[in-house]
Structures are given as structure tokens and as C-alpha cells.
Amino acid sequence: PFSVTEVRAVLGQFDQSNQFEDVRDRLVVELLYALGLRRAELLALGVDDLDFYNDVVRVCGKRNKVRLLPMIKPLKNLLKEYLSLREVLVVDANFKVLIISKHANKVSETFVYRLINKYFSHVSSKEKKSPHMLRHTFATHLLNNGADINAIKELMGHASLSSTQVYAHSSLDQL
């Protein structure tokens, strides 16, 4: 996983920018890290999956398993900023895909992979830099800060505890 320092360094690259692409790129990093999303889950998110009243994000995971994830305040603020910029680009009100290109099209899995690789290449010497690494980082940071492994299992949408324990073992190996 990435270190806290590496994640903060990447997020710091976006400070003070309110350009659509910078806000979108920061949002992609934040959603992957703050919610522990899979790349496919990120790309499947729609505007209607955001519940600002209850501060949750509705995520449809593997096997169509739905989970509600907490929308922390910094993420909520970033989502609102992004939506206001997105609104200017999207002509069709029925187009509900959350993460879009500057041309108001759905982005690809390759786009997300390249985005993560681009930003983390500046701050990390790790050989593999992928969206899944941020999911791994999410779980590891929670575990290292005392979160219950069953709670992490639920947040990640794992069907079994053994899937989550992979993160626990790598965390213990690092310690």
C-alpha cells in the first residue's frame, strides 16, 4: 500500500485548483482512498448514488451487493465542488455517470489506471501504482489505526473475512 505521506503528497498536488480536470482527478483519488472503492465501483457510480442528506455514498459492488459508505466532510465538499463543475459540461440531464471526461463522456478503466499511475509516480518509488493499491491503502490505514477487521470487511464489501485478512497479513508483515 501507499503511505499516508504519499497519499497526502498526491492530494497536495491539487491544492488551490478549481479547474474541472484537477477537481475530477482529486475526486477520483479521494473516492478510491476514502471509500476503498474498486475501480469498477468508481466507474459505476452515478450522481444519484450520492446522498448528501444522510452523508452516504451508495456503492454497487461485486455480485450486485449494495453497501452504503460514509461521506466524510472533506469528500462531501469536494463532491459538491465537482458536481457544480460537471453540471456546466453535461448537456443531457439524464446522463447520470459521476466521473466524466472534459468532453462529458464516461471515462474508461484505463483512464483511471493512468491517472493513478501519473500522480503516484511523482511521490512513490513503488513499482506497482494502480487504483487497487489505493483500496489496499484504505484497508491498511484503517487496520493500522485500530479499526475492527469485521468493520473493514463490511466497508470493502467483502463476502468473507478471509478476503479482508489478506490486508491484515500484509499490514503485519510491514510492521
- Please identify every residue annotated as catalytic: 38, 62, 132, 135, 158, 167
- Terminal CA-to-CA distance of the chain, rounded, Å? 13
- The four Cα atoms 27, 139, 38, 166 give a dihedral, to 10 degrees, of 160
- Cell numbers 473493514: residue: 152
Distances (CA, A) of 92 to 2, 20, 50, 98: 38, 18, 19, 13
Task: Report residue 57: phi and psi, to 5°.
Answer: -115, 125
Give the CA angle between residues 149, 151, 155 to the nearest 5°. Answer: 115
Query: Between 109-121 and 4-12, two packed helices, what is the crossing angle to 10 degrees?
Result: 100
Q: Are 50 and 74 spatial neighbours (Cβ–Cβ below 8 Å)?
A: no
